[in-house]
Each structure stands twice: as structure tokens, then as C-alpha cells.
């Protein structure tokens, strides 16, 4: 009888063993669904975000689709994190080969009340290859077997440290905290290696279920779970009992820093420009095997030229001034009762065309068109009151909920002023700050690089540079301030171009070129372009990197061409860089996840004019801030002016260091500019509305010295306060200057334009 029982036992045991072997064999050969190949085990598909770094090693942003994951080496894990993980999730991790049968049978015996049966390696296999556990019992059992098989294979392919590294790099802690690097930064604002014991315990505790154990929504529950982890560390002798008791009495001490969306955070416009550039780069620079880099999943490291502190100061200065300027503009707009408001000096038909074009470019039009709606139906939808969230300077989060018709929202946004600002280090061409607009979430058009605007008097220095370079005129040479006409051929006919000075005033005196540029005397500029010829000026700006067409006609002298902020700043940089134009650079290098350099920027330069010519231009432009339209950078005589009291923050500025610059205002005050230079930083600022027919109705508000110059001034003052290495020294003067630059003093003629109004408008 006993012998029969033994035989039956062994038959049953053998049958069970064979059955288990067959089950595992079936799973291994794909009987329960696809299994990872050897190549997939060697290179598991894990998505890693591309990181953008500033020049001062700050993460500006990330590009990712779904997974915001940053790879972190095992060596960067603190001991407390590894100890907490093993003590809580897999105490025999270093003893088993993927499957802990002792833990498995213990879980069966106690129905899971003394811990789960899944090892860390099994959990990793579920993360990488199996997926979320099915609620169907049969499918769940099949998944479990697959986990076992894959876990054993992972143990054969990787060291224990590599398995821990993959596990902690893959887990999702919520709030876009994919991987331990992001979890440490988002919950505690520190890198993983700086995590304290209780912080490590909290993150390990969340591994059970990060949605349930959410420290933001359920802090008390998370504290209890963290304390269980601390107890486990004591149990397995990773932590002393007294220390654990002390830590259990403390709060979580979170320093919560949720990840910014693509529409938020620092340098949003710049980040979106880099994203577009990276897509083109990836398409044209494949891997050695011909595959294309995925900028959203391959974990690239992109090192940019942006200085995070300069960028933050640029954005703060832009926001502060534009908010005040917008209030003044709204007050003006409220007084305009014309049927074409907010569009000025246009016919009703022109205003209607502007609105219709805006309708057709809108997301609403695109969506309804895709649904097959007719133009009539789509247009009618723009007149239906709709709940919406709009941009509003007067709210802390710059948004408010309201009800308005979509057509009213178009008009509302048309009234908003836009801006652009960019800084370049002239010697390297490195772009240090980039502000493409007021708010990327609501105004996604990047006015630094996408749009070209009329540049006004900021173009005049190129005329002067061509004259000084080719005709060797000196900044102290004189020309008469009298009405002047330029004869030019147009369509085979001779035409006269006779620009007027602002206000139609002429001193009749011989004035220096330095004084003429400082005060934007149009008649002198007309004489200069007549002497050198518009072709020479057009060719010069092309050498200086201006990509927009600059026609060879006399009127360009007063700034009629449309030029991008990006190109204008780069062109001015040649003045500060001793006549050498350096192609702007915004990415220095790109590395793959392992640190291999995939791209390194090579500066492109061109000698445009010699350093003596460049310094002569700097001298001319310094005159603008010494006694010209930029004089308010140094003196406080505008302090009691009601306009400055209303719209300008931080005045008086009272800069003492050498500054070269130029203001610019276009016809009807549609565009306000300021270009400012110190030896190691050249910055350009533009302010205007989306449509040129939307503008201030007077030059006092609408000039570049009011719209744009204050942004530059507050930006630079903060840069100096923060000691960011921005030069306060004079520009380097060549030893043997062939020109007389000491004009004694810039003449003050009572018949020249009043500096209190800085009139620069065109009068064709």
C-alpha cells in the first residue's frame, strides 16, 4: 500500500514537473503571446526624452511623446535608495536568478499577506515586455509565466546592478516623473544622488502604486507607506531602529516642482525653434545603420548657447514693460469709435479682409473645414457666444475665463501688442537670450525668427557704414541739414525721392555725421545713400547676414526694408566684433544617450569691414545714447513726463558705462525698435502689433524709445545687478584710427528735433 502511494506520488510529481516544463516551454516559444527576441532583450525599447541644456548647465526643457524619462546610471543611485528598494520589493534579490521560489511558495501559503511573489526582475519584465496585468484570470496566469521566463532571460543578459538601473529608470511616479531622475527632481527638487533616506523610502513606497500613494493628494497615506519601507530597512539591517523611529516622526518635506508643459517654462519660443531645427537635423543626419534619430524617444542631449539667467532677465523685462504698455494701448483703443477699430487709417473693406484672413487661419476654421462644413456655416459659427479662456495681463496666471464670440476674440487679440528680443555674444555668435513673444501658450508666432518687420531708423547705421568704408568719410565730417532729393531710375523713368525731416524742420547748418545719426536726421542720410549708392548698402547688409530682400533703392536709407530681429541683431554684432560677422549659433553640440558627440557647431565667419571702420560705427552709435534718441538711458529728464510715469518701469536708468545703440520707429508708429550694444552683448528689441494698421495714434507712445528701449534698459540693469559677466567697459579702440572721432561735442541746434519727442517717423 505504501509502495503504491509512493509510486502515485512520484507519478503525480513527474506529471506536474513535465506539465510545468511544457507550460514554460510553451511560453518561451510564444504559445502565450509574442516573446522578446534576443535583440530586444539586449536593447529593450525604453523611451528617453531629449534634454535641452543651457550654457550654464540648466535644463531648459525636454522633448518627449508620452514618456518624460531621463537615463540615470546605477552609480548615481544613493545607497539608501537601493537598500530601500531591495528591503521592500525583493529581499533575496542578490540570491535568486530572476524567480524567487521561496517567496513564491510563501505568497501561496499566506495568500499574499506576507508580501508578493514578484521579484524586481519580474517587475522589470512586466514593465518592459508584458504590460499591465490582465483582469482575466487565464490571461493573468499566462502573463505571470511569461514574466518568469523573461525574468530568467534578463538575469542571463544583465548584471544585478543593470537590472536595478533599468527598473528605476523605467518606473512612472506620476506628474511626468518617468524614471528616478525626474522623480527626484519633481518631488524633491534635487538629483537622485542627493536623496536622503526618508526621501528614498517615500519613492520606493510609491512603487506599489504611484496613483494610489500620491504624496500631493494623499500625504498621510504616503507617510504611512514610507514608514513601512523604513521598517523593512530595519528588518533587513539596512537601517538602525533608532534612526528609523526618528525619520518616521518627520513629515514628507516635499519640494514639489511639476514638469512644465511644452507651452510653459523658460525660453518657450527658443525651445520650439530648437525642436523644429532638430527635426530637420535628424532627417538629414541618420545613424550609421541608416535609421533616423527620434528626438522624442532617443534621449539625446542638446547643449544650447542660451544663458538661463540672461534668458530669465529678458523674459522678466519684456513682461513687465509690455504689461504697462498694453494698458496704455487699451485706453487709447477704448476711445476709438471708428467702424474699422482697432485698425487705423484703413478702409472698411481692408479691415474686413484682415478679419477674414484671421478667421481662415484659426484652429476653429481648420477643424470645421475638416468636418466638411461650408464657408457660410463656418463663418456663422464665429458670431455665436462661446465659453473660452483668453490671455489677460491683469490676471496672475495671465488667463481668464469669459464668454465672447470668436469674432470678438479675434478683435481682442488683434489689439494686443507683440514683441521680440534677442541677445548675441558678438565674438562667438552665440545666442544668449531669445524671447519670441509675450506668451507662447497664447501667441505662438515667433517674432524673433518667423516674422520680418520694417526696421525704421535702425537701418541707418548700415548706410553710414557703407559710406565710411567705401568713401572714407569720418564721423566728424559735416553735411548740410537742408531739403535734399535723390534722383533714381524707376521702370525706365527718372524719379525724385525727397525725404523730409521729422516735423519738417531743417537747421540749415552743416552738422557732423555723428550728430545726424544720433538724431536721425533724414536729409543727411539721404545725401549719404546718394553718395555711396543703394546697391552698395544692399550688398553690405547681405554680407551681414540679412536674409530678407533689401532692394537697391534710395528709400531703404530710412528703413523701409522688412528684416527679422534675428538677422538685425546678428548684423549689428559685426560692429561690436571689429567688423567680423559671425553666423548666429544656438546649439553647440548634440550627444546621444551614451555621450557620443553626434554634432558639433563650427562657427561661420566673414570679414565685412576692418576694425577701424567697425570702431568708427561704434563711436557713431555711442553718440545715440550720449546725446541722441537714446539719451534717456543716461539722464532722468523724462522722469516727470506723464508717458514715462504711465508705461515705463524702472526709470530713471542712469547707466554710466559705454553703450552704443539705435532707436527706430516706422511710419504711423507701427514698429518700435531699440538696438543696444556693449562689448560682449548685442541685443535687439522690437514691439508692435500683429497687423501694422494697429498702432498707437501718437509718436509719444509709439516711438522706439518708449516701446522698446525700456525693455533693453531693465534687462541690462538686472544683468549688471546679478553680476552675469556682461561688460561695463568701453569698446576696444584700434591703435591707429584713420578717422577723427573727437568732434569736441555734438552740436545742439535749436532748429533740430526736440529730444523729448524723439521724432523718427517717415515722411515720404
CB neighbours of 126 closer than 8 A, spacing ≥ 6?
Answer: 118, 133, 143, 147
pLDDT at 144 over 80: no
What's the whole-number mean pLDDT along residues 365-378? 92
- Which of the four pLDDT bands, split at 50, 70 and 90, describes residue 20? very low
- Which of the four pLDDT bands, split at 50, 70 and 90, describes residue 512? very high
Q: How many Å apart are CA 80 and CA 233, to the nearest integer?
A: 9
Q: What is the pLDDT of residue 760?
A: 43
Lowest mean pLDDT segment, chosen from 39-43, 322-326, 399-403, 509-513 = 39-43
Lowest mean pLDDT segment, chosen from 71-75, 227-231, 304-308, 688-692 = 71-75
pLDDT digits (tens, 9 = 90+) for 437-466: 999 999 999 999 998 999 999 999 999 999
Question: In the predicted model, what is the mean pLDDT of the chain?
Answer: 86
Q: What is the pLDDT of residue 155?
A: 81
Q: How many Å apart are CA 595 and CA 613, to the nearest integer?
A: 44
pLDDT at 761 over 60: no
What's the whole-number mean pLDDT along residues 683-700? 94
Q: What is the pLDDT of residue 11?
A: 55
Name 201's bridge partners: none
Q: What is the pLDDT of residue 117?
A: 61
DSSP-assigned letters across all residues of 584-646 = -B-EEEEE-TT--EEEE----EEE-S-HHHHHHHHHHHHHHHHHSTTGGGT--TTTT-HHHHH
Among candidates 188, 191, 190, 221, which has minimal Cα distance to 206?
221
pLDDT digits (tens, 9 = 90+) for 545-604: 999 999 999 999 999 999 999 999 999 999 999 999 999 999 999 999 889 999 999 999
Q: What is the pLDDT of residue 12?
A: 57
Q: Is 586 left (phi over 0), alpha (psi -120 to 50) or beta?
A: alpha
- Which of the four pLDDT bands, split at 50, 70 and 90, describes residue 16? low
pLDDT at 34 over 70: no
Strands 50-53 and 301-304, by their bridges, are parallel
- Segment holding 486, helix H or strand E: strand 486-490
pLDDT at 520 over 80: yes
pLDDT at 125 over 80: no
Cell 534579490, residue located: 93
- Which of the four pLDDT bands, split at 50, 70 and 90, describes residue 762? very low
For the chain, give every domain's residue range: 418-431+448-584+593-600+610-721
- Which of the four pLDDT bands, split at 50, 70 and 90, describes residue 755? very low
Q: How many Å apart are CA 181 and CA 192, to the nearest integer?
A: 6
Q: What are phi and psi of 659, to 5 degrees?
A: -135, 130
Q: Is 695 left (phi over 0), alpha (psi -120 to 50) or beta?
A: beta
Q: What is the pLDDT of residue 21?
A: 47
Bigger pLDDT: 314 vs 178 = 314
pLDDT at 41 over 50: no
What's the whole-number mean pLDDT along residues 272-294? 94
Q: What is the pLDDT of residue 24?
A: 46
∠ CA(143), CA(146), CA(148), 5° rounding?
Answer: 115
CB neighbours of 376 closer than 8 A, spacing ≥ 6?
Answer: none
Q: How many Å apart are CA 520 and CA 518, to the nearest integer?
A: 6
The total of other beta-carbon atoms located within 10 Å of residue 450's CB is 16
CB neighbours of 564 closer than 8 A, spacing ≥ 6?
Answer: 448, 449, 450, 451, 452, 547, 548
Lowest mean pLDDT segment, chosen from 115-124, 318-327, 633-642 = 115-124
DSSP-assigned letters across all residues of 270-317 = HHHHHHHHHHHHHHHS--TTSPPP-TTTB--EEEE---HHHHHHHHHH
pLDDT at 684 over 50: yes
- Which of the four pLDDT bands, split at 50, 70 and 90, describes residue 58? very high
Query: 407, 321 in Cβ contact below 8 A?
Result: no
Q: What is the pLDDT of residue 65?
A: 75
Q: What is the pLDDT of residue 108?
A: 46
- Which of the four pLDDT bands, split at 50, 70 and 90, describes residue 742? confident
Pick the CATH number of 418-431+448-584+593-600+610-721 from 3.90.650.10, 3.40.50.920, 3.40.710.10, 3.30.830.10: 3.40.710.10
DSSP-assigned letters across all residues of 343-402 = S-S--HHHHHHHHHHHHHHSHHHHHHHHTT--HHHHHHHTTS-EEEEEE-TTSTTSEEEE
pLDDT digits (tens, 9 = 90+) for 179-235: 899 899 999 999 999 999 999 999 999 999 998 999 999 999 999 999 999 999 999
Among candidates 702, 472, 452, 643, which has minimal Cα distance to 561?
452
Q: What is the pLDDT of residue 736?
A: 86
Query: 689, 438 in Cβ contact below 8 A?
Result: no
Q: How many Å apart are CA 512 and CA 514, to the nearest integer?
A: 5
Lowest mean pLDDT segment, chosen from 6-10, 115-119, 420-424 = 6-10
What's the whole-number mean pLDDT along residues 638-661? 86
Q: How many Å apart are CA 747 and CA 521, to the nearest integer?
A: 13
pLDDT digits (tens, 9 = 90+) for 287-305: 988 899 999 889 999 999 9
Q: What is the pLDDT of residue 9?
A: 55
Q: Is 253 left (phi over 0), alpha (psi -120 to 50) or beta?
A: left
Amino acid at each position: 500500500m505504501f509502495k503504491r502511494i509512493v509510486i502515485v506520488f512520484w507519478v503525480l510529481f513527474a506529471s506536474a514537473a513535465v506539465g510545468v516544463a511544457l507550460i514554460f516551454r510553451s511560453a518561451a516559444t510564444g504559445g502565450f503571446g509574442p516573446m522578446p527576441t534576443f535583440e530586444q532583450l539586449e536593447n529593450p525599447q525604453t523611451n528617453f526624452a531629449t534634454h535641452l541644456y543651457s550654457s550654464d548647465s540648466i535644463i531648459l526643457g525636454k522633448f518627449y511623446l508620452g514618456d518624460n524619462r531621463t537615463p540615470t546610471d546605477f552609480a548615481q543611485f544613493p545607497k539608501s535608495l537601493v537598500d530601500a528598494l531591495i528591503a521592500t520589493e525583493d529581499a533575496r534579490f542578490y540570491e535568486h536568478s530572476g524567480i524567487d521560489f521561496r517567496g513564491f511558495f510563501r505568497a501561496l501559503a499566506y495568500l499574499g499577506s506576507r508580501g508578493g511573489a514578484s521579484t524586481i526582475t519580474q517587475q522589470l519584465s512586466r514593465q518592459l515586455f508584458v504590460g499591465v496585468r490582465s483582469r482575466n484570470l487565464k490571461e493573468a496566469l499566462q502573463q505571470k509565466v511569461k514574466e518568469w521566463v523573461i525574468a530568467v532571460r534578463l538575469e542571463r543578459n544583465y548584471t544585478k546592478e543593470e537590472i536595478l538601473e533599468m527598473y528605476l529608470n523605467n518606473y512612472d511616479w506620476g506628474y511626468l516623473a518617468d524614471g528616478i531622475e525626474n522623480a527626484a527632481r519633481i518631488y524633491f527638487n534635487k538629483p537622485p544622488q542627493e536623496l536622503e533616506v526618508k526621501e528614498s523610502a517615500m519613492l520606493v513606497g510609491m512603487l506599489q502604486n504611484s496613483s494610489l500613494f500620491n504624496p500631493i493628494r494623499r500625504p498621510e497615506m504616503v507617510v504611512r507607506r514610507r514608514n513601512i519601507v523604513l521598517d523593512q530597512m530595519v528588518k533587513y539591517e539596512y537601517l538602525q531602529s533608532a534612526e528609523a523611529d526618528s525619520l518616521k516622526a518627520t513629515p514628507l518635506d516635499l519640494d514639489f516642482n511639476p514638469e512644465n508643459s511644452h507651452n510653459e517654462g523658460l525660453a518657450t519660443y527658443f525651445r520650439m525653434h530648437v525642436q523644429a531645427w532638430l527635426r530637420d537635423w535628424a532627417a538629414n543626419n541618420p545613424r550609421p545603420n541608416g535609421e533616423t534619430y527620434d528626438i522624442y524617444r532617443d534621449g539625446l542631449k542638446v547643449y544650447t548657447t542660451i544663458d538661463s539667467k540672461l534668458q530669465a532677465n529678458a523674459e522678466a523685462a519684456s513682461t513687465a514693460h509690455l504689461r504697462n504698455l498694453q494698458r496704455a494701448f487699451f485706453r487709447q483703443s477704448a476711445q476709438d469709435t471708428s467702424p474699422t477699430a482697432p485698425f487705423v487709417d484703413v478702409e472698411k473693406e481692408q479691415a474686413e479682409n484682415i478679419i477674414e484672413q484671421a478667421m481662415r487661419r484659426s484652429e476653429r476654421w481648420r477643424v470645421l473645414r475638416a468636418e466638411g462644413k461650408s464657408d457660410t456655416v463656418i463663418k456663422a459659427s464665429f458670431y455665436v457666444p462661446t465659453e473660452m479662456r483668453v490671455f489677460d495681463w491683469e490676471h496672475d496666471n495671465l488667463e481668464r475665463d469669459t464668454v465672447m464670440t470668436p469674432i470678438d476674440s479675434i478683435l481682442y487679440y488683434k489689439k494686443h501688442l507683440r514683441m521680440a528680443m534677442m541677445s548675441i555674444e558678438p565674438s562667438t555668435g552665440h545666442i544668449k537670450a531669445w524671447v519670441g513673444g509675450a506668451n507662447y501658450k497664447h501667441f505662438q508666432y515667433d517674432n524673433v525668427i518667423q516674422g520680418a518687420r520694417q526696421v525704421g531708423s535702425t537701418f541707418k547705421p548700415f548706410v553710414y557704414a557703407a559710406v565710411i568704408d567705401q568713401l572714407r568719410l569720418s564721423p566728424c565730417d559735416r553735411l548740410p541739414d537742408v531739403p535734399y532729393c535723390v534722383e533714381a531710375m524707376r521702370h525706365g523713368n527718372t524719379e525724385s525721392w525727397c525725404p523730409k525731416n521729422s516735423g519738417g524742420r531743417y537747421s540749415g547748418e552743416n552738422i557732423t555725421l555723428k550728430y545726424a545719426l544720433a538724431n536721425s536726421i533724414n536729409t543727411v542720410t539721404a545725401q549719404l545713400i546718394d553718395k555711396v549708392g543703394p546697391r552698395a548698402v544692399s550688398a553690405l547688409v547681405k554680407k551681414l547676414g540679412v536674409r530678407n530682400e533689401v532692394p537697391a533703392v534710395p528709400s531703404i536709407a530710412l528703413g523701409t526694408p522688412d528684416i527679422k530681429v534675428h538677422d538685425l541683431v546678428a548684423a549689428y554684432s559685426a560692429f561690436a566684433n571689429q567688423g567680423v560677422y559671425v553666423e548666429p549659433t544656438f546649439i553647440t553640440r548634440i550627444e546621444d544617450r551614451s555621450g557620443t558627440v553626434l554634432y558639433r557647431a563650427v562657427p561661420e565667419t566673414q570679414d565685412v569691414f576692418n576694425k577701424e571702420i567697425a570702431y568708427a560705427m561704434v563711436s557713431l552709435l555711442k553718440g545715440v545714447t550720449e546725446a541722441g534718441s537714446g539719451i534717456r538711458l543716461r539722464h532722468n529728464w523724462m522722469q516727470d513726463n506723464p508717458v514715462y510715469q504711465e508705461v515705463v518701469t524702472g526709470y530713471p536708468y542712469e547707466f554710466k558705462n559705454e553703450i552704443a545703440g539705435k532707436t527706430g520707429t516706422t511710419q504711423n508708429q507701427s514698429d518700435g525698435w531699440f538696438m543696444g550694444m556693449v562689448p560682449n552683448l548685442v541685443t535687439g528689441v522690437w514691439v508692435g502689433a500683429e497687423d501694422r494698421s494697429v498702432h498707437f495714434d501718437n509718436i509719444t507712445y509709439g516711438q522706439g524709445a518708449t516701446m522698446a528701449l525700456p525693455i533693453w534698459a531693465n534687462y541690462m540693469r538686472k544683468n549688471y545687478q546679478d553680476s552675469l559677466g556682461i561688460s561695463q567697459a568701453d569698446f576696444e579702440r584700434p591703435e591707429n584710427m584713420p578717422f577723427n572721432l573727437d568732434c569736441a561735442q555734438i552740436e545742439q541746434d535749436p532748429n533740430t528735433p526736440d529730444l523729448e519727442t524723439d521724432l523718427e517717423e517717415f515722411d515720404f
